[in-house]
Amino acid sequence: MMKWIVVILVHSLLTPNLINVRGNTGMVHRRFEYKYSFKPPYLAQKDNTIPFWEYGGNAIASSESVRVAPSLRSQKGAVWTKTKTAFEWWEIDISFRVSGRGRIGADGLAIWFTTERGDYNGEVFGSSDKWTGLGIFFDSFDNDNKHNNPYIMAVINDGTRHFDHQNDGGSQALAGCLRDFRNKPFPTRARIEYYQNVLTVLFHSGMTNNEQDYEMCLRAENVVLPKAGYYGISAATGGLADDHDVFHFLTTSLHPPGQLDQIGQVPQADNDKLSQEYKEYQKKLEDEKEKYKKEHPDEQKDEFDDWFESDNQRELRQIWQAQSTTTEVLRDLSKKLDEVIGRQERTLGLLSASGGAIQQGGSPPPPGQHQQQYTGDAIRRHEVDALLNTNNILTQSMRDLKTQLNDLNQRTELLIGNQKAGGSVGGGYDMQGLVAEMRDGLNTVKQGVLGVQARVNQPQGLNSCPTTKCVGLTPFLVALAVQLVIILGYNIYKDAKGNQSKKFY
């Protein structure tokens, strides 16, 4: 059996994996390069080696990741490919995590594409200085004390220049962006593309587990890199230390139309041999299935049962699709709310700075200090009372809304309990009744939200905010209520899905 599995794996690896995508330059052929990639599980073999890669220094390889540099002082390590590339244009997708106990980390992590393999204990983020090629640096420590770190930059070297550590390579950087990549809840990701002399770096902050949440970090044109080189990853620590873990490094070669005809093609004789062995394996597998059916007639199952979905499955699928759409909308709304909260914080900073205007009769600022000017109206005592009154109304309304949601949750748990006991005749679970109960509960929640909105819209005698834009209480409350409903609906669906799975087994 293992022989046939090896044959299938070899056949799938030798066959070019081509995906046609339309980019800015037309149709691009993409081919996954497994000799320049690694990923879990079984990233490292039993002898602690990584297939097609070499590592040294303080790097440690495991089955799930490569710890390029541990969180100890003055540690350096690197991982390099064994062979040079045979393609000119490429794309890299890397997933990593930089984490440490301190508020500030050091030194950082680097991704390399050079004509020669670098050192494992070098001076530039654990690799050699005076390299020839490209280095993408994720710099954690602020050496020049300009408060512009963590920073991501691209540096190209022709093999003659030393890296400027004292200024964090600011004068040598091709382009860069200020992004925080330390201590994130999910792994941080970067996508580096080099195609037709255009270098593009996309960055995933690691704040969500959505693989599509990339943002542009840098883009540079007229970039000339070596046509062949080695890929590498290095990291280093200094007086401060972070763990630098890399989870996967995936390389894809990019080819213009018409240039991939002879690349990676399997000889016809070997292709025919593998195809024949695959057909023989398929035939043997079918014979084993028939033999098993004859020996176990009681365990036979109609193969058409999984082709059709029941009414319950259809209803749950529709609910899931609606919840997924709502989740996407809420994600966009969350981003906008973050911007609004930032504006609110800046407004509160202005109010705090204008202490003399807020409290009448306050002492003037000391001589020699300039008080921050504030052009808006000062907040009054009756306005503060009105704001506190509105806050109390919102608190009471949220308690009422919480009570209604708890009631809806109890009804849903009761209905799910009835579903578990619905195996006997006459005691089945009515899916339409569940949907009706959920609709009534959601309508009750909607009425509660409308009541809260009506209370919030009542005039309280509170003057409008200063010239700086403020967030409205109504959108914030509505978004909060919708989030609670979404979370409750998702929990209901998850419990129902788990119960159905248990019911099958």
- pLDDT tens track for 289-299: 888 888 888 76
Is 33 in contact with 253 (CB distance < 8 Å)? yes
Max mean pLDDT range (11-20, 299-308, 389-398): 389-398
% of residues, the chain, pLDDT over 70:
75
Residues 92, 192 contacting (CB under 8 angstroms): yes
Q: How confident is the model at residue 267 (pLDDT cuts 50, 70, 90)?
A: low
Highest mean pLDDT among 95-104, 364-373, 395-404, 486-495: 95-104
CB 106 within 8 Å of CB 92: no
The DSSP bridge partners found for residue 54 are 80
Reading the block at residue 203, the tokens are: 């960055």
**CA distance linking residue 125 with residue 387, whole number of Å:** 53
Q: What is the mean pLDDT of residues 128-154?
A: 91
Q: Mean pLDDT for the chain?
A: 79
Question: What pLDDT shows up at residue 34?
Answer: 93
Q: Which residues pair with 32 in a beta bridge?
A: 252
Q: Cβ-count burial of 318 within 10 angstroms (0-12 exposed, 13-18 middle, 19+ buried)?
A: exposed
Least confident window among 141-145, 168-172, 214-218, 385-389? 385-389
Query: What is residue 462's predicted lDDT score, i.e. its pLDDT?
Result: 45
Check whether 411 has a pLDDT greater than 80. Answer: no
What pLDDT does residue 347 have? 81
Whether 162 contacts 129, CB under 8 Å:
yes
More confident residue, 409 or 192: 192
Percent of the chain past pLDDT 90, that is, above it, reads 37
The lowest-confidence range among 211-220, 285-294, 364-373, 465-474 is 364-373
**Alpha-carbon distances of 13 from 7, 297, 403, rounded to whole Å:** 10, 38, 58
Q: What is the pLDDT at residue 71?
A: 92
The pLDDT tens digits of the residues spanning 414-454 come to 766 766 665 444 444 455 666 666 677 677 767 776 776 67
In this predicted structure, the answer to whether residue 264 has a pLDDT above a threshold of 90 is: no
**For residue range 37-63, what is the model confidence (pLDDT) as tens digits?**
999 988 999 888 999 999 999 999 999
Of the spans 15-24, 104-113, 356-365, 432-441, which averages the highest pLDDT? Answer: 104-113
3-state secondary structure 122-184: ECECEECCCCEEEEEEEECCCCCCCCCCCEEEEEEEECCCCCCCCCCCCCCEEEEEECCCECC
Number of C-beta neighbours around residue 65 at 10 A = 22
pLDDT, tens digit, for every residue of 75-130? 999 999 999 999 999 999 999 999 998 888 888 999 999 999 999 999 999 999 99
Whole-number Å distance between alpha carbons of 435 and 319: 10
CA distances from 238 to 184, 229, 405, 411, 455 (A): 21, 29, 52, 58, 57
Is a pLDDT exceeding 70 seen at residue 253?
A: yes
Give the per-residue pLDDT at 378: 56
Task: Pick 105 or 472 by higher pLDDT.
Answer: 105
In 3D space, the residue among 256, 276, 257 whose CA is nearest the CA of residue 268 turns out to be 276
pLDDT range class, residue 218, cuts 50, 70, 90:
very high
Instruction: Return the minimum-mean-pLDDT range out of 54-58, 148-152, 177-181, 451-455.
Output: 451-455
